[in-house]
Structure 1
């Protein structure tokens, strides 16, 4: 079984099911990417993995434990870090204070973790005393990822990390995500920039109407003619 194995996920927000028999998985040190058209249920699938959506059917097994009924805050303590797409920084707090907020579950010395984040994102070290609300969109995303890393996660989940940023910033963020994965952290990422995301993905999941349409390596999905034509713009 995979390090994270979410199988048969079926459920919604009280009405009709948004997810139907949806499966996602990722191994330690790998990048798994969830792509698909708008309304495909990508972010909903991510929320289901994190416990923000009650599943009617299916299970989520993480690091050998069935966490299907575990509350989101318990999943954080179990080793999950989640970065939502919007409202993912405390705009009135400084960069450093945002990072410190990320360590709320820890009672050990966080200095080394903070320096690791500053090493990964040097611009944050420069702006450590600046309110996060004054940063650019790309810099805010770095703060959000850095804050999640402060929990020392075993799995980092990112919901549209490059939304609203320039192509250059997108490439930089993807490079950093690969760098994080190389430290042994599993990455599960929902991304609208499908082609670029699949280029860095070990595995990819193409969702359509809440179900898996294609599942393969990132390289194989990029080479798949139907995937290219239907989801990657040719």
Structure 2
């Protein structure tokens, strides 16, 4: 069986010299897949995502991208390898326009970015309408679209989203999930942390339920939704 395109395997570690938060945790995703990390508050979901992106030290385990060991690469070097990360908060430049935010996402690009920007505007039409407006004036859902769009300007192979629907209405959440599905269909790997577990698992090819920094359940999104123990413990019955 071939190895997943991106895998954080048997990761154990935490922040600085503090106690370990992750305990033998494994997260993986293939091209065109949506992998979702869910679990209770304090389960280590965002920590697992940050470990994959190189934002904290792991002293056991490894992270590999397309077969290459990237465990010791900085986040900046991982971006150059094709990874993009959208944090939950402080993920846009509020004083810059929508268009300027997207241009900032192309900082590593050495060639014309207009085609990619038009692709972002096709994905998020409201951003085309508001391209000259300061991003700080947008609604929460529109800001998330800017943040995702800016990450896509790097033309990543892997898009990592930390709580992309936090604080938005159910209608906006559904719209964002629809756009995430569209991105995955282009062949980009999606790795996502979500509090809205049931809705996220509905669109997930694979899901990871973490508890206290360790894998509790790992399966397809559909199988996890059908699992009585998962429903009872993590999805409200």
Tell me the TM-score range normalised by the shorter chain: over 0.9
**Structure 2 segments unaligned to the other structure (5+ residues):** none
SS at match of 1:178: helix
**2:14 alignment counterpart:** 12
Q: In the alignment, what sits opposite 1:196?
A: 199
What's the secondary structure of 1:55's corresponding residue?
A: strand
Give 1:58 deviation, angstroms. Answer: 0.6
CA drift of 1:48 comes to: 0.3
Alpha-carbon distance between aligned partners in 2 of 1:65 and 1:7, rounded to the nearest angstrom: 13
| CA distance in 1: counterparts of 2:81 and 2:112, whole angstroms | 19
Alpha-carbon offset, residue 27 of structure 1: 0.4
Kindly report the root-mean-square deviation, in angstroms, between the aligned alpha carbons of the 2 structures.
0.4
Q: Please report how far the alpha carbon of residue 222 of structure 1 lies from its aligned counterpart in structure 2 after TM superposition.
A: 0.1
Q: Structure 1 residue 5: deviation in Å?
A: 1.2
Aligned twin of 1:76: 79
For 1:90 and 1:229, the matched residues in 2 are separated by 40
Give 1:29 deviation, angstroms.
0.3
For residues 129 and 100 of structure 1, the distance between their equivalents in structure 2, rounded to whole angstroms, comes to: 12
The alignment partner of 1:93 has SS state of coil
Residue of structure 2 in register with 1:3 after alignment: 5
Gapped runs of 5+ residues in structure 1?
A: none
Aligned to 1:141: 144
Mapped partners of 1:101, 1:44: distance in 2: 26
- Please list, as runs of the form range in 1=range in 2, the aligned pairs for 1:1-234 lying within 5 A after superposition: 1-13=3-15, 14-234=17-237
| Offset of residue 162 of structure 1 | 0.0
